[in-house]
Structure 1
Amino acid sequence: MTRMTLREKVAQMYGAWLDVDDSAGEVAPHQHDQTPDPIDWAALLPHGLGQVTRAYGTTPVAPADGARRVANLQREIIAAGRFGIPAIMHEECLTGLAAWQATIYPAPLSWGASFDPDLVERMGAQIGRTMHRLGIQQGLAPVLDVVRDLRWGRVEETIGEDPHLVGTIGAAYVRGLESAGVVATLKHFAGYSASRAGRNLAPVSIGPRELADVLLPPFEMALRAGARSVMNNYTDLDGVPVAADPAMLTELLRDRLRFEGTVVSDYFAIAFLQTLHGVAASRADAAALALRAGIDVELPGANCYGAPLLDAVEAGDIDEALIDRAVTRILLQKCELGLLDADWRPEPPALDEEGSAVDIDEPDARDLARRLAERSVVLLRNAPVDGTPVLPLAPGARLAVVGPGAAESGAMLGCYSFPRHVLVHHPDVPAGVSIPSVLDALKAGHDVTYAQGCPVLGGDDEQIAAAAEAAAGADVCVAVLGDLSGLFGGGTSGEGCDAADLRLPGRQEELLEALLATGTPVVLVLLVGRPYELSRQIDRLAAVVCGFFPGEEGAAAIEGVLSGRVDPAGRLPVSFPGAGASQPSTYLAAPLAASSGVSTVDPTALFPFGHGLSYTPTTWGEVSLGPAGGWATDGTVEVAVPVSNDGDRATSTVVQVYLHDPVAEVARPERQLIAAARVDLDPGQCRTVTFGLHADLLSYTGRDGRRLVEPGDVELRVARSSADVHAAVRIPVVGPRRAVGTDRQLHPLVTITG
């Protein structure tokens, strides 16, 4: 680095947005406003280049063509610069690699619903291997924002409303992606999901305790899992934009959490310090604020870290030592990736036998997508009709399959999937992978009549009447309702698609009422990016099945649950709201937030966090706790429960452990998840789940702002959901009050025997 000119060093600090045709597509509303000029590669490359933005994820390009173009571009970058430093290629990878023809996995809410970190880690590793084959070194995932308001459009990108679940699943994804040699990027550090009124990119006004105890733990867990990059939060926290806050990006992230990787800006976040936040008078001012705060790399392009930053350094307004700090981190990461090895060469992946195609939706990947989808579908309700539950569907039953999601393959996909993110701008290009609809899947084994009823938004009375007529002539009506994901107003869920309330979008509730009025049993299938309010219909619905954008194999998973081929296994990562739904809240609340006689609003969930039913009953035995004599403030207790399968088919259940702290220094959540384990059981099998719980899991931020464990009685609730407690065990916490640092134990030790 000491041999590099200032211009060469700064060139390592930004990206360049291109696709394989050298022209960026339309994937962000600020994209061309912020970067209006085409890239002059001849002028740019001799100085070097830090990153290349979304070479695959901007327009549809065949993987083989993209790989050849990426390899050629790397060769050009190496040859043009004095030091031959390659660029880091980065891509979105939230539901799989966001590239044409790549496997589309379930959206992150489905990861949370699976309660299966091992399966999510396998998915992350598979995604990472695909990226590595294509010459991609960095992935912009996972999203670790904890849901605070269900109206927020990006709920579908999150893992859930509980920090332990988000951290456990997010850390598993990080381990998988990083195991393939791809840098995982944690988003969005930190507090993004707590925006006012659930509006995207809105101000955040939260206390330091909510930040420390709810929003930060998933980042801590994922950093320990080996994540090598962090992306800043767009918003301001109590008036200070995170992109300009050294207290967040340096003092907290680096000094306290010991992060040593690179901090990359969310797209255009540095320019937004001037254009949206009004804390910078110019792009040079914005660059100075971001650099001092701790942002090393500007993405997607050189809006502020290019000429404006150079001018500011040469004018003496920015210390060049800050440039050196950022470039040191960038070059060290390129060293770790092997990009500076003398023998590193950009090579495209092996082609097929015809020498033209690269398969990035292999059978193993599709099988993994299917298994995760099956693991994540949640059976919310299965009420008896004439004494017998409607689900599983009886063989030979005549089905009316209706609703906007029934025949729409896009109903399976989240907003960061390639078809919903990019192909909406290329309507003549096929999806690139096979994505059956629910109607396709049900037609394969059932007698089906189809009527749409209405689209997600819009529709007319005649369509609804036709759907009701189809339902009236059937034995069972399967109503497939919910969202269509999109970006910035292009859907009902997704980035920039926030909701004013939690009623089903458009005329779907009206359609549902018409179907219920026929008297035919109605099975509601939700394909959604957030929970919706169902309180007016729930008692009249025969069953409710929920899939959180379950991906390319989601229809098979839904059909499997409806037919009984798949035993429902998912558990809710977010609560379903109760009546009203105008003031949504998560389960993670202090007693003051419960229903009371001093407010006319009842926040009780219709379906609570952790809820999910199965077709196969399980029996939970007596809970044991040890050792006797209490839980030392620096010690460990073991909680064990036997679980048995009383049915004649294999099943899976999730044992959840919640902490209730009745008396504390500050108001604490009534219950908070501190451990969970998925248990698979063969017919007649009994297994014992043992949780080793360190006292660090009791810690919280006290009045003085420091994390502590204090003596006193606590209650451990072994439960099927946050509201369905199998057994509550009270235990004294004994010993001195103890301060706890960022090196605290974050995970329970889980052992399953039998």
Structure 2
Amino acid sequence: MTAPWADPACPHDDRVEALLAEMTLEEKLAQLGSSWPGVERVSGNVAPMQDVFARHTDFAAASKNGLGHLTRPFGTKPVEPADGARQLAVMQRELMAGTRLGIPAVAHEECLTGFTAYRATVFPAALAWAAAFDPALVERMAHAIGTSMRQVGVHQGLSPVLDVVRDYRWGRVEETLGEDPYLVAMTGTAYVRGLESAGIIATLKHFAGYSASKAARNHAPVSMGPREFTDVILPPFEMAIREGGARSVMNSYADVDGMPAGADAGLLTRLLREEWGFEGTVVSDYWSVAFLRTMHRIAATDGEAAARALEAGIDVELPDTLCYGEPLAELVRTGAVSEDLVDRAVRRVLRQKAELGLLDADFTPEAPAGNSVDLDPPAHRALARELAEQSIVLLDNPAGLLPLSPDAASIALVGPCANDPNAFFGCYSFPNHVLPHHPGHDNGIETRSLLEALAAEFPSARIAYEPGCPVRDVDRSGFDAAVTEARRADVCVAVVGDRAGLFGAGTSGEGCDAEDLALPGVQAELVEALLDTGTPLVLLVVSGRPYALGAYTDRAAAVVQVFFPGEEGGGALAGVLSGRVNPSGKLPVQIPRTPGGQPGTYLHAPLGGHSQGVSTLDPTPAYPFGHGLSYTTFAYDRLEVSAEEIPTDGEVEIGCRVRNTGERTGAEVVQLYTADPVAQLPRPVIQLTGFTRVRLDPGEERRVSFRLHADRLAYTGPELRRIVEPGEITVMLGTSSTDIRLTAGVHLTGPVRQVGHDRVLHTSAHVD
């Protein structure tokens, strides 16, 4: 006879209650824990404090009462995809056969630049997705990532990162979607929809405030008031839950104003669940429950740490069960912790397993026959190429040097990122995240450096390559050779930037925070030496964060920025240099003028801008948020605003005509900004409120319109309630936050209106 919880015809809640009634305390707690088989054999960290906390318990012992999660069966070491799928299926069968209730585990993996597994497609880093300003393309990419994960037995992905950038020195800027909460929200929500549509649980991280740490130091405290937290940090998470359907949230390591997120019931329960209506699971960032004892020092024992986290609302402890096992069980047995709190979390975990089909009586872990699993199929590579091409930002091209002439006789290709395909990968890509700990393995995918791609793009040109210097080390021994080749060439392409890694192994990535925003190592000196040759210089920056480029804006013949473009990055960059690809990316973060120009986010109130003599420091960037040039030009005209006045609960349509006035087909990102000149509290000088990408042939024109609801103008007022207030609002259409082409005023009428979590969250766009 089939147990009631195993009957897929029964409602999920009934199945969960039947199973919960059958479980012992130990079986319940097992569903709130996890196991990371084999991690103790990994040389080098792929997670913070792994060397301290990694367990040495065999899988059978760790799962004797069941198991909530299986941690990274593919993302810990290189394994052939089909072999990995078979190994995962074996572990699931052992778990089912070796436990009384036979419940499979949720298998989770990282998937920030694609499925973090050997031989899987390496897509561009998240900051590059944002630079494309194309949520629909990001959604397609995420769906592709999800299909790869599902075919090998994975259920949950630990992405996207919805942290809004506040300080570019933070090592994890590359993992973010930029410095504007609306851009982050729209792009991150698209990623969630794509991953969830493939049947993979999307996990929002890091909830919340992680990116605003003091001095940009990873895990440092966050000093932030409730208004900034509400208006800047929280909106992407809210949209990804309400409009994206995300089913999991991961807590932040940070403490905000002294409160660790992992122990904050106001954040994880009252806001997330009671106000926003979230019904999924909250999973801990790796070892963050134990960190309540070891790092935050708000618990004396592992059991106390577990109690704090469970009461706050963390349902599952990842990546191993350190605190939610026997330390928590002892407190429940003594009555120090109510078993009702355990049941609350177990219900959420079991409901999710029911949704995934893991409780069904006929669930059988299956693995592919033979070696037929392809995690890097042509369709995925095509998506990676499209996204890489759209993410490249042409910052400057004053004399029109780019695109390079197809008849270029000689090109000097210089710089430490010019002949290294791994320079195109983020820190959570498998080649940079895992393979450094497994020497002797190739990347497992086809990759081309820029040198290789440029040779194919310009087959008749003489291309002389010199690295010049390393990415990080202070070594100038290659300067002379690089300068010699630059002098001999018609044009010099200098490829500088980052090498992503983990915990100090790179110049960008988790645990790789920067003291300032100068190019790493002696790369800035190399660029100066190349500029001094007099040969026209194309400065090409491949990085995970924006670096200060103000010293080169008047001297370089062209400047190009790309944020870790993935496995197809070489061909995409070569295509931009040749003109085969017309660049259309826009900056999701500003490019600072000087290395000390921090914090430099565009989203600031009046006192955050240039003070006109009040201070000797000028935060004006070298290149502003939203900036990006093309090999064609675009004209904006015929501004139309549907109403001069709207009530504080109304909406207005804002539109214009955009025309390609150049000789090449190109794509323009039309950006809608708003400003609130007089409000009860200081408001941002300018703020992105909508955007859309439009492709135009030479001479073609199209009408672009936005439907702006008054809810989109809401902010946290003096009483810490989100309000829309009457008054004059400026609406602006442009090609960047400083290149505004059309401006109008709209007057909001009526009373101050308080809005809640049912408010309108996005601005719809339409292209005729």
Residue 187 of structure 1 is matched in structure 2 by 205
Structure 2 residue 457 is matched with structure 1 residue 445:
yes
Q: Which moved more, 1:612-621 or 1:182-191?
A: 612-621
AA at the equivalent of 1:156? E
For 1:297-325, what per-residue CA distance to the aligned partner results, in whole angstroms no more than 9, with x for missing partners?
00000010111111111122110000000
Query: Which of 561, 571, 590 is the equivalent residue of 1:556?
Result: 571
Query: Which of 399, 412, 422 is the equivalent residue of 1:410?
Result: 422
Residue 332 of structure 2 is matched in structure 1 by 313
Residue 612 of structure 1 is matched in structure 2 by 628
Q: Measure, in 2, the Cα distance between the counterparts of 1:648 and 1:717.
A: 27
Structure 2 residue 205 is matched with structure 1 residue 148:
no
Query: Which of 681, 692, 703 is the equivalent residue of 2:696?
Result: 681
Structure 2 residue 436 is matched with structure 1 residue 424:
yes
Q: Measure, in 2, the Cα distance between the counterparts of 1:631 and 1:393.
A: 53
Q: Normalising to structure 2: TM-score of the pair?
A: 0.95
Residue 504 of structure 1 is matched in structure 2 by 519
Residue 572 of structure 1 is matched in structure 2 by 587
Q: Which moved more, 1:589-598 or 1:204-213?
A: 589-598
Q: Measure, in 2, the Cα distance between the counterparts of 1:747 and 1:227.
A: 17
Q: Measure, in 2, the Cα distance between the counterparts of 1:28 and 1:725.
A: 43
Q: Measure, in 2, the Cα distance between the counterparts of 1:23 and 1:8.
A: 29
Displacement after TM superposition at 1:683 (Å): 2.8
Displacement after TM superposition at 1:41 (Å): 3.0
Residue 290 of structure 2 is matched in structure 1 by 271
For 1:248-267, what per-residue CA distance to the aligned partner results, in whole angstroms no more than 9, with x for missing partners?
11111111111110000000
Q: Measure, in 2, the Cα distance between the counterparts of 1:462 and 1:9.
A: 62
Q: Measure, in 2, the Cα distance between the counterparts of 1:579 and 1:205.
A: 25
Displacement after TM superposition at 1:445 (Å): 2.9
Query: Which of 726, 738, 746 is the equivalent residue of 2:741?
Result: 726
AA at the equivalent of 1:313? V
Query: Which of 218, 226, 232 is the equivalent residue of 2:251?
Result: 232
Q: Measure, in 2, the Cα distance between the counterparts of 1:100 and 1:495.
A: 20
Q: Indicate the SS of the match to 1:333.
A: helix
Q: Measure, in 1, the Cα distance between the counterparts of 2:586 and 2:722.
A: 30
Q: Which moved more, 1:645-654 or 1:333-342?
A: 645-654
Point out where structure 2 has 5 or more consecutive residues left out of the alignment.
Answer: 1-19
Q: Which moved more, 1:81-90 or 1:141-150?
A: 81-90
AA at the equivalent of 2:388? A
Q: After superposition, where does 1:525-674 map in structure 2 within 5 Å?
A: 525-596=540-611, 597-627=613-643, 629-674=644-689
Residue 413 of structure 2 is matched in structure 1 by 401
Displacement after TM superposition at 1:343 (Å): 1.8
User: Kindly, what percent of the aligned residue pairs are identical?
Assistant: 56
Query: Which of 170, 176, 191 is the equivalent residue of 2:194?
Result: 176
Q: Measure, in 2, the Cα distance between the counterparts of 1:157 and 1:600.
A: 33
Q: Measure, in 2, the Cα distance between the counterparts of 1:652 and 1:542.
A: 23
Q: Normalising to structure 1: TM-score of the pair?
A: 0.97
2:203 and 2:247 in contact (8 A); partners too: yes
Q: After superposition, where does 1:193-212 map in structure 2 within 5 Å?
A: 193-212=211-230
1:650 and 1:683 in contact (8 A); partners too: yes
Q: After superposition, where does 1:5-84 map in structure 2 within 5 Å?
A: 5-19=24-38, 26-35=45-54, 37-84=55-102
1:250 and 1:293 in contact (8 A); partners too: yes
Structure 2 residue 274 is matched with structure 1 residue 255:
yes
Query: Which of 457, 474, 485 is the equivalent residue of 1:470?
Result: 485
Displacement after TM superposition at 1:632 (Å): 1.5
Residue 179 of structure 2 is matched in structure 1 by 161
* Compared CA separation, residues 460 and 194, structure 1 to 2 (3 A): closer
Displacement after TM superposition at 1:28 (Å): 2.4
Residue 214 of structure 1 is matched in structure 2 by 232
Q: Measure, in 2, the Cα distance between the counterparts of 1:44 and 1:34.
A: 15
1:25 and 1:58 in contact (8 A); partners too: no
AA at the equivalent of 1:5? T
Displacement after TM superposition at 1:190 (Å): 0.5
1:203 and 1:236 in contact (8 A); partners too: yes
AA at the equivalent of 1:608? P
Structure 2 residue 356 is matched with structure 1 residue 340:
no
For 1:320-346, what per-residue CA distance to the aligned partner results, in whole angstroms no more than 9, with x for missing partners?
000000000000000111111122211
AA at the equivalent of 2:442? P
2:37 and 2:58 in contact (8 A); partners too: no
Residue 3 of structure 2 is matched in structure 1 by none
1:383 and 1:390 in contact (8 A); partners too: no
* Compared CA separation, residues 371 and 676, structure 1 to 2 (3 A): same
Q: Measure, in 2, the Cα distance between the counterparts of 1:96 and 1:406.
A: 23
Q: Which moved more, 1:686-695 or 1:355-364?
A: 355-364
Q: Indicate the SS of the match to 1:308.
A: helix
AA at the equivalent of 1:312? L
Q: After superposition, where does 1:241-390 map in structure 2 within 5 Å?
A: 241-349=260-368, 351=369, 355-384=370-399, 388-390=400-402
Q: Indicate the SS of the match to 2:638.
A: coil
Q: Indicate the SS of the match to 2:166.
A: coil
Point out where structure 1 has 5 or more consecutive residues left out of the alignment.
Answer: none
Q: Indicate the SS of the match to 1:663.
A: coil
Q: Measure, in 1, the Cα distance between the counterparts of 2:530 and 2:62.
A: 61
For 1:134-178, what per-residue CA distance to the aligned partner results, in whole angstroms no more than 9, with x for missing partners?
100000000000000000000000000000000000000000000
Displacement after TM superposition at 1:608 (Å): 0.3
Displacement after TM superposition at 1:580 (Å): 4.6
1:213 and 1:700 in contact (8 A); partners too: yes
Q: Measure, in 2, the Cα distance between the counterparts of 1:125 and 1:708.
A: 36
1:392 and 1:561 in contact (8 A); partners too: no
Q: Indicate the SS of the match to 1:401.
A: strand
Q: Measure, in 2, the Cα distance between the counterparts of 1:342 and 1:238.
A: 48
Residue 495 of structure 1 is matched in structure 2 by 510
Residue 120 of structure 1 is matched in structure 2 by 138
AA at the equivalent of 2:553? I
Q: Measure, in 2, the Cα distance between the counterparts of 1:690 and 1:286.
A: 52
Displacement after TM superposition at 1:684 (Å): 2.5
1:171 and 1:222 in contact (8 A); partners too: yes
Q: Indicate the SS of the match to 1:66.
A: helix
* Compared CA separation, residues 339 and 24, structure 1 to 2 (3 A): farther
Q: Which moved more, 1:421-430 or 1:53-62?
A: 421-430
For 1:581-637, what per-residue CA distance to the aligned partner results, in whole angstroms no more than 9, with x for missing partners?
34332000001111121100000111000000000112211210013x402111110
2:652 and 2:708 in contact (8 A); partners too: yes
Q: Indicate the SS of the match to 1:692.
A: strand
AA at the equivalent of 1:626? S
Q: Measure, in 2, the Cα distance between the counterparts of 1:617 and 1:643.
A: 10
Structure 2 residue 536 is matched with structure 1 residue 521:
yes
* Compared CA separation, residues 531 and 462, structure 1 to 2 (3 A): same
AA at the equivalent of 1:408? D
Q: Measure, in 2, the Cα distance between the counterparts of 1:6 and 1:472.
A: 74
AA at the equivalent of 1:70? L
Q: Measure, in 1, the Cα distance between the counterparts of 2:427 and 2:382.
A: 22
2:636 and 2:742 in contact (8 A); partners too: no
Displacement after TM superposition at 1:461 (Å): 3.3
Q: After superposition, where does 1:128-139 map in structure 2 within 5 Å?
A: 128-139=146-157
2:457 and 2:574 in contact (8 A); partners too: no
Cα RMSD (Å): 1.3
1:391 and 1:543 in contact (8 A); partners too: no
Q: Measure, in 2, the Cα distance between the counterparts of 1:130 and 1:22.
A: 26
2:202 and 2:246 in contact (8 A); partners too: yes
* Compared CA separation, residues 21 and 316, structure 1 to 2 (3 A): closer
AA at the equivalent of 1:567? N
AA at the equivalent of 1:501? D
Q: Measure, in 2, the Cα distance between the counterparts of 1:190 and 1:487.
A: 22
Q: After superposition, where does 1:726-745 map in structure 2 within 5 Å?
A: 726-745=741-760
